[in-house]
Structure 1
Amino acid sequence: MNFKQFLLLLALLGPLGVGANQVERRQSELDALKQRLQTLQTEFRNTQAHRQEAADELRQSERAISSAVRQLRELDGERQRTDSDLQTLMQQAEAVAARIRQQQASLGQALKAAYQRGQGDAFKLILNGSDPNQSARDLRYLAHLSRARHAQIETLRADLAHLAALQQQTAQKTTELTQLQAAHEAEQKKLLADKRAREAVLQNLSAQIQQQRREISNLKRDERSLTQLVERLSRLMAQQAAREAARARAAQQAQKSPKAETNVAGQPRRAVAVNTETPVAFRSERPFSKLKGLLRLPVAGELMNRFGAPREEGGVSWKGLFIRAAQGSAVKAIAAGQVVFAEWLRGFGNLIIVDHGEGYMSLYSNNESLYKQVGERVQPGDAIAAVGNSGGQPDSGLYFEMRHQSRPVNPLLWMK
Structure 2
Amino acid sequence: MAALAGASVARAQEPDATQRSAQEQDARKKLDAVRGQIKALTEQQQATAGERGEAARALREKELALAAVAKDVRAFDEKLAAQQARLDQLNRRRSELEGVLKSQREALAALLRSAYALGHDEELKLLLQQDDVATIARVLAYHRYFQRAQVGQIDKLIGDLKQLADLQESIKAATAELAATRDAQAVEAAKLETERAGRAALVDTIDAKLKDQGTRIAALGKDEAALSQLLERLRDVFADIPKQISGEEPFAATRGRLAWPLQGRVVTAFGAADESGRRSSGLLLAAKTGSAVHAISHGRVAFADWLRGYGLMIIVDHGDGYLSLYGCNETLLKDVGDWVNAGETIATSGASGGQKAPGLYFELRVKGQPTDPRGWLR
Above 0.5 in TM-score? Answer: yes
TM-superposed deviation, 1:54: 4.3
Instruction: State how far apart, in whole Å, the 2-side matches of 1:124 and 1:347 are.
Output: 99
C-alpha change, 1:88 and 1:337, in structure 2 (3 Å) is same
Deviation per residue, 1:361-386 (Å, 9 max, x gap):
11111222324343444344444333
Q: Is the 8 A contact 2:298 2:339 kept in 1?
A: yes
TM-superposed deviation, 1:148: 1.2
Q: Is the 8 A contact 2:327 2:360 kept in 1?
A: yes
Secondary structure at 1:104's aligned position in 2? Answer: helix
Q: Does 1:291 align with 2:254?
A: yes
TM-superposed deviation, 1:390: 1.1
Q: Does 1:320 align with 2:281?
A: yes
Instruction: State how far apart, in whole Å, the 2-side matches of 1:360 and 1:49 are.
Output: 28
Instruction: State how far apart, in whole Å, the 1-side matches of 2:217 and 2:143 are.
Output: 104
Map of 2:17 onto structure 1: none
TM-superposed deviation, 1:169: 1.5
Instruction: State how far apart, in whole Å, the 2-side matches of 1:116 and 1:382 are.
Output: 68
TM-superposed deviation, 1:312: 7.2
Instruction: State how far apart, in whole Å, the 1-side matches of 2:373 and 2:212 are.
Output: 31
From 292, 298, 301, the counterpart of 2:265: 301
Instruction: State how far apart, in whole Å, the 1-side matches of 2:50 and 2:342 are.
Output: 42
Q: How does 1:96-107 map onto structure 2 within 5 Å?
A: 96-107=97-108
C-alpha change, 1:362 and 1:151, in structure 2 (3 Å) is same
Deviation per residue, 1:119-141 (Å, 9 max, x gap):
24444445557433322211111
Map of 2:215 onto structure 1: 214
TM-superposed deviation, 1:356: 0.9
TM-superposed deviation, 1:182: 1.5
Instruction: State how far apart, in whole Å, the 2-side matches of 1:171 and 1:140 are.
Output: 46
Instruction: State how far apart, in whole Å, the 2-side matches of 1:68 and 1:352 are.
Output: 18
Secondary structure at 1:341's aligned position in 2? Answer: strand
Instruction: State how far apart, in whole Å, the 2-side matches of 1:215 and 1:65 are.
Output: 22
TM-superposed deviation, 1:144: 1.1
Map of 1:345 onto structure 2: 307
Instruction: State how far apart, in whole Å, the 1-side matches of 2:306 and 2:313 are.
Output: 6
Deviates more, 1:51-60 or 1:86-95: 51-60
Query: Counterpart of 1:199 in structure 2: which amino acid?
Result: A
C-alpha change, 1:137 and 1:396, in structure 2 (3 Å) is closer
From 360, 367, 371, the counterpart of 1:405: 367
Map of 1:39 onto structure 2: none
TM-superposed deviation, 1:195: 0.7
Instruction: State how far apart, in whole Å, the 2-side matches of 1:322 and 1:206 are.
Output: 24
C-alpha change, 1:133 and 1:203, in structure 2 (3 Å) is same
Deviation per residue, 1:77-112 (Å, 9 max, x gap):
332332232222222212222222222232223223
Instruction: State how far apart, in whole Å, the 2-side matches of 1:140 and 1:216 are.
Output: 96
Q: Is the 8 A contact 1:362 1:400 kept in 2?
A: yes
Map of 2:39 onto structure 1: none
Query: Structure 1: where are the runs of 5+ without partners?
Result: 1-47, 218-283
Q: Is the 8 A contact 2:301 2:335 kept in 1?
A: yes
Deviation per residue, 1:284-343 (Å, 9 max, x gap):
943112334444654533453654x887758xx646125152442543433332222222
Map of 1:139 onto structure 2: 140
Deviates more, 1:297-306 or 1:162-171: 297-306
Secondary structure at 1:354's aligned position in 2? Answer: strand
Q: Is the 8 A contact 2:259 2:343 kept in 1?
A: no
Deviation per residue, 1:18-75 (Å, 9 max, x gap):
xxxxxxxxxxxxxxxxxxxxxxxxxxxxxx8996454343223222322333333333
Provide the aligned length of Structure 1 versus Structure 2: 300
The percentage of counterpart residues that share the same residue type is 36
Output the TM-score relative to the length of structure 1. Answer: 0.62
Instruction: State how far apart, in whole Å, the 2-side matches of 1:362 and 1:50 are.
Output: 24
Query: Counterpart of 2:331 in structure 1: which amino acid?
Result: S
Deviates more, 1:335-344 or 1:132-141: 335-344
Query: Counterpart of 1:159 in structure 2: which amino acid?
Result: D
Query: Counterpart of 1:320 in structure 2: which amino acid?
Result: S
C-alpha change, 1:132 and 1:50, in structure 2 (3 Å) is closer
Instruction: State how far apart, in whole Å, the 1-side matches of 2:143 and 2:75 are.
Output: 61
Instruction: State how far apart, in whole Å, the 2-side matches of 1:407 and 1:49 are.
Output: 24
C-alpha change, 1:117 and 1:49, in structure 2 (3 Å) is same
Output the TM-score relative to the length of structure 2. Answer: 0.67
RMSD over equivalenced CA pairs, Å:
3.4
C-alpha change, 1:208 and 1:358, in structure 2 (3 Å) is farther
Instruction: State how far apart, in whole Å, the 1-side matches of 2:371 and 2:350 are.
Output: 24
Query: Structure 2: where are the runs of 5+ without partners?
Result: 1-48, 219-246
Map of 1:354 onto structure 2: 316
